């Protein structure tokens, strides 16, 4: 379906256009991340509070992006911000260890399967170090990852990530090692082996062919960059058993799912214990907190045998934020609240789509879910490409004209925060979807 978005009264953008003109003179694309470089549609934010965000022109939105997932409580949460501000007054960055980081890691280990963990400042760093640890522990060089999964922006992660044309991924029985962009050495692409998600047969062929060289399988337990496509029954257990059979480690990338789907993350939700895991996003409620951890025998390769460091690793701001956020997650029903809110929104969206007679499926977990215009649930990233993502993208853009802001890309889930349960935010999100869908279908009918 080819669509264009209809908006009766587009939000004012004069200040943002002025900022875009200024920013692109010094910032490539006018922003600090390729993922939010939307040309003249680039959004420049002014502030956020709870489940709301305002752009530079004063337009107010129900925020369904939540910074790609970190803001699990809500923008400007006083419990976290007040604690961080208090701790900051004692100094921020020493490159020495503080009680804040010890407490943060103790909480990570209390909530998850991890015996030990270390802090970093981004999910990219966390997955990079976890992969290095796995190679150091096994003495092998190769890592298997799944198509459509995003593990950060280091070279070893940028293989077979998000092509719009999935034919570039090659034959599903022997996928192409597709580098995302220039600058990734060919030698690195040869150490990363892609596999379709939910496909144990292809994974076994990979292990039978290259198993003696495979250090680890890294996996998001659900496809966080394909609207949260879920693992089929038995898939994660099959991956776990296969890694054990061939002497490889299993790394769960819980940067998006950790401390969101359950207190112990996706590992707890699905009942699978990996060897290593990575965490970020929700553990800081927007502060740059991240970690990697796992089995003691693997983690104890640090500090003598595997390199890990960072001037800002364990800095007081991030560690204090993580300590407070993880305490809230442990001691309150915040995660149950997220799920209730997600289900309320789904219950509101479903009849809207059904009135138009469109096929649809909900994907993911209520705390980070997607809606796809498709007859049945896709099993993998290649299946996502067969959904009507053009219609979804048009609806997402149209929702912004109506005061709600999902990511304008059908691969990104809607992220819930605790503050979404307040006031009329759920109703406003549903209403924006209803109007945007009607607009998109009207535009399609005219084209």
Catalytic residues: 150, 253, 281
Distance of CA 174 to the CA centre of its chain: 27
List CB contacts of 191: < 8 A, sequence separation 6 or more.
141, 142, 143, 156
Q: How many Cβ atoms are within 10 Å of 125's Cβ, its own excluded?
A: 23
**Three-state DSSP class for 394?**
helix
Token readout for 434 is: 């209803």
- Taking the C-alpha atoms of residue 358 and residue 350, their distance in angstroms, rounded to an integer, is 10
- Taking the C-alpha atoms of residue 320 and residue 291, their distance in angstroms, rounded to an integer, is 14
- Taking the C-alpha atoms of residue 102 and residue 100, their distance in angstroms, rounded to an integer, is 6
Token readout for 93 is: 């960055």
Token readout for 249 is: 């480690």
Name the DSSP letter for residue 290. E
**Three-state DSSP class for 371?**
strand
**Three-state DSSP class for 55?**
strand
Per DSSP, helices labelled H in 296-410 are 296-299, 316-331, 334-355, 381-384, 389-400
Q: How far apart are the first and last CA of the chain?
A: 10
Per DSSP, helices labelled H in 112-246 are 123-138, 186-189, 200-210, 235-245
**Radius of gyration of the CA atoms of the chain, in A:** 22
- Taking the C-alpha atoms of residue 357 and residue 353, their distance in angstroms, rounded to an integer, is 7
Closest to 219 measured CA to CA, from 207, 236, 204, 233: 236
Distance of CA 184 to the CA centre of its chain: 22
- Taking the C-alpha atoms of residue 165 and residue 384, their distance in angstroms, rounded to an integer, is 11
**Three-state DSSP class for 47?**
strand
């Amino acid at each position: 379906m080819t669509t264009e978005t209809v908006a009766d009264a587009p939000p004012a953008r004069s200040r943002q256009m002025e900022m875009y003109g200024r920013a692109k003179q010094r910032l490539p694309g006018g922003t600090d991340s390729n993922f939010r470089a939307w040309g003249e549609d680039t959004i420049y934010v002014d502030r956020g509070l709870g489940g709301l965000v305002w752009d530079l022109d004063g337009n107010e939105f129900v925020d369904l992006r939540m910074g790609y997932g970190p803001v699990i409580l809500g923008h400007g949460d006083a419990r976290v911000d007040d604690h961080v501000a208090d701790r900051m007054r004692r100094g921020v960055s020493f490159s020495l260890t503080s009680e804040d980081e010890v407490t943060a890691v103790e909480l990570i280990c209390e909530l998850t399967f991890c015996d030990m963990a270390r802090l970093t400042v981004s999910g990219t760093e966390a997955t990079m170090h976890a992969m290095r640890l796995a190679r150091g522990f096994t003495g092998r060089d190769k890592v298997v990852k799944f198509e459509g999964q995003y593990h950060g922006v280091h070279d070893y992660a940028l293989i077979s990530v998000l092509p719009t044309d999935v034919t570039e991924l090659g034959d599903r029985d022997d996928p192409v090692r597709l580098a995302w962009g220039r600058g990734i050495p060919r030698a690195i692409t040869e150490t990363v082996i892609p596999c379709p998600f939910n496909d144990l047969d292809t994974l076994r062929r990979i292990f039978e062919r290259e198993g003696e060289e495979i250090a680890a399988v890294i996996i998001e337990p659900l496809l966080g960059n394909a609207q949260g496509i879920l693992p089929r029954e038995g898939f994660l257990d099959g991956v776990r058993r296969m890694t054990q059979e061939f002497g490889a480690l299993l790394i769960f990338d819980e940067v998006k799912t950790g401390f969101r789907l359950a207190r112990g993350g996706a590992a707890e939700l699905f009942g699978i214990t990996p060897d290593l895991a990575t965490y970020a996003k929700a553990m800081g409620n927007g502060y740059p907190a991240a970690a990697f951890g796992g089995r003691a025998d693997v983690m104890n390769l640090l500090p003598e045998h595997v390199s890990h460091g960072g001037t800002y690793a364990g800095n007081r701001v991030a560690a204090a934020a993580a300590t407070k956020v993880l305490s809230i997650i442990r001691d309150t029903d915040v995660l149950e609240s997220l799920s209730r809110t997600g289900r309320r929104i789904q219950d509101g969206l479903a009849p809207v789509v059904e009135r138009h007679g469109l096929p649809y499926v909900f994907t993911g977990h209520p705390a980070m879910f997607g809606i796809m215009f498709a007859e049945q649930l896709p099993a993998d990233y290649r299946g996502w490409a067969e959904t009507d993502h053009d219609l979804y993208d048009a609806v997402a853009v149209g929702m912004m004209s109506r005061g709600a802001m999902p990511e304008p890309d059908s691969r990104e889930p809607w992220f819930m925060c605790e503050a979404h349960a307040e006031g009329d935010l759920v109703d406003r999100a549903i209403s924006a979807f209803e109007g945007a869908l009607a607009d998109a279908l009207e535009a399609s009918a005219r084209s």
